[in-house]
Amino acid sequence: MTSDKATFPTRRAAAARNRDKILAAARTAFADPGVEVSMAEVARRAGVGMATLYRNFPGRQELLEALYVDEVDALCEAAGAGGDAQPPGAALTDWLRRLFAFIPSKRLIVSELLEHTDRDSPLRHSNRTRALTAGRPLLTAAQAAHEIRADLTLEQIFDMIVAIAKINGDPDYLEPMLRTMLSGLRPPAQDEAAGRGRG
């Protein structure tokens, strides 16, 4: 007979796989903001029973929170990846574009979870702090290289990105606004030089 000690790692691995399947299914299902997705639909897409779904996520709120934390994890990981392969300013703007892309593509998380959660709540505060901490070295390096203006904080840049991303409109509508905002991060002398180059 197999002992409990021998089967525990197997059970834990299976539980982790189920959780990952649920999150992957929910991420895909919630990607379309025009479709109302039930917990039963998430379970169906994940190929798990309702008991397994609710064992991992007691409710819709907990599922959305887990998706949000996963996205912040990916954003933090991206901040430390590949920064040495390009100029500091480009590394920062690429990372900011990733932040921007998260918001429209995850409108359900934003509208259903974050819009109804106080900005100072532990969920929002801790994850915003994690993202800011991860991105701050990118801004520091870009400012030290004089590729990003020195009078802006990462908090201010974050708030501008979020404000644009939350405007109703398709990517073609939002992209020029984002591009203008990112261009405005350059020091004034660079802006003037870029303008002369276009002229």
Q: Which residue has the tokens 């203006």?
A: 149
Domains and CATH numbers, the chain: 1-58 (1.10.10), 60-198 (1.10.357.10)
pTM greater than 0.75 (yes/no)? yes
Q: State how far the Cα of 57 lies from the Cα of 53, in Å rounded to an integer.
A: 6
- Residue 103 main-chain phi, psi, to 5 deg: -70, -55
Q: Rounded to whole angstroms, how far apart are CA atoms 63 and 52?
A: 13
Structure tokens at 107: 């409108």
CA 35 to mean position of chain CA atoms? 21
Name the DSSP class of 121.
S
Q: What does the pLDDT profile of the chain (199 residues) look like in tens digits?
A: 455 555 667 778 888 999 999 999 998 888 766 677 899 999 999 999 999 999 999 998 899 889 889 889 999 999 988 556 799 999 999 999 998 887 755 666 666 666 666 666 788 889 889 999 999 999 999 999 999 999 999 999 999 998 898 888 888 999 999 999 999 999 987 554 555 455 4
